[in-house]
Structure 1
Amino acid sequence: MSTKNVIFTDQLPAAVGPYSQAIESDGFVFASGMLPIDPATGNMREGSIADRAHQALTNIKAVAEAAGCTLDDIVKTTVFLTDVNDFKEVNAVYAEYFNEPFPARSAFQVAALPLGADIEIEVIFRKKN
C-alpha cells in the first residue's frame, strides 16, 4: 500500500487554493505548479519573463530542499506559458538550473494562469534511496 506524505516549507508563498506544495509517494515527489511569487513579499515577481522564470525555479528549488531532494533529482518538468514567444528567454534561464541528463520536459502555451501569472512550472522528483 502506498503512502502519501505532505511536503511543506515556509520558504514558499502560501498556497492560493486547496492543495499541497508537494506530495511524496512511492519514492516520487510531485510538486504543485510554482508561480513566480516572491515568498518574501507574497507578490508576483516584477520584471521580465526571465526574472519570473528565475523566481519560479527558485521556488522549485525551495520545495526540492524541503523534500530532501535537489534539482538533479527532477525527472520531469512541465512549463506553462501564456505566450509561447517567451519560450526562448525561459529556455535560457531553465538551462542555468539543470545539468545533463536533463529532465524530460513539456512546454505549453495556455490561455491563462492563476493570479495573472505568465509562467508556471511543475516538476516531479525521484527520491534517492
Structure 2
Amino acid sequence: MKLITAEKLPVPGGHYSHGVMAGPLLFISGQLPFPPGAQTFPDGIEAQTIQAMENIDAVLQAAGASLSHLVSVHIYIVDVADWPTVNLTYATLMGAHRPARVIVPCGPLHHGALVEISAVAEV
C-alpha cells in the first residue's frame, strides 16, 4: 500500500489521504470542489462538478495516471434535481471513456458543497 498526495490540493482536513495505491488500483478519497489554494467553492453545480473532477485528476496525476484510468466513479449530490447537469458536465469531461459510475443524492455535504466525487482507477 502506498499513500498518494496531490501537492496542489489542500491538505486533507480529516484522517485520510488523497489517494491510496493498493496493487494496481488507486482509491481516491472524496474530493470537494475546492480550487487549489481557495477557501471557497465556485458557484453552481456545473462549476463545482468541474472543480471536483479537476481535483480527482490532480490525484490521478500524482499517481502517474489520468482520467482515462478511472474504472469507477461515485458522485454525491445534495439535490437530485442537479442530476442532469452533473451527468452532462461529467460526460463532457470524460468524453468517450465510460467507467462504472453512480450518482447518489444525499444529505448536506461538508462545508456546504453541492457535490463530492470519489473514484477508483487502475494504474
TM-score of the superposed pair, with normalisation by structure 2: 0.95
How many residues align structurally? 123
Look up the match of 1:64: 60
Of 35, 38, 47, the residue aligned with 1:38 is 35
RMSD, matched Cα: 1.1
CA distance in 2, matches of 1:89, 1:13: 26
Q: Are residue 104 (structure 1) and residue 95 (structure 2) matched?
A: no
Paired residue type of 2:9: L
CA distance in 1, matches of 2:44, 2:60: 25
Percent identity (aligned)? 32
Runs of 5+ consecutive residues of structure 1 not aligned to the other structure: none
CA distance in 2, matches of 1:52, 1:14: 19
CA distance in 1, matches of 2:70, 2:110: 24
Q: Are residue 48 (structure 1) and residue 44 (structure 2) matched?
A: yes
Of 10, 14, 17, the residue aligned with 2:14 is 17
Structure 1 stretches of at least 4 aligned residues deviating more than 6 Å after TM superposition: none
> In the alignment, is the contact (CA less than 8 A) between 1:73 and 1:125 conserved in 2?
yes
Shift of 1:114: 1.3
Look up the match of 1:75: 71
CA distance in 2, matches of 1:22, 1:49: 24
CA distance in 1, matches of 2:66, 2:97: 14
- Work out which of the two has the higher radius of gyration on C-alpha atoms and give 1 or 2: 1
TM-score of the superposed pair, with normalisation by structure 1: 0.90
Which has the larger displacement, 115-124 or 99-108? 99-108
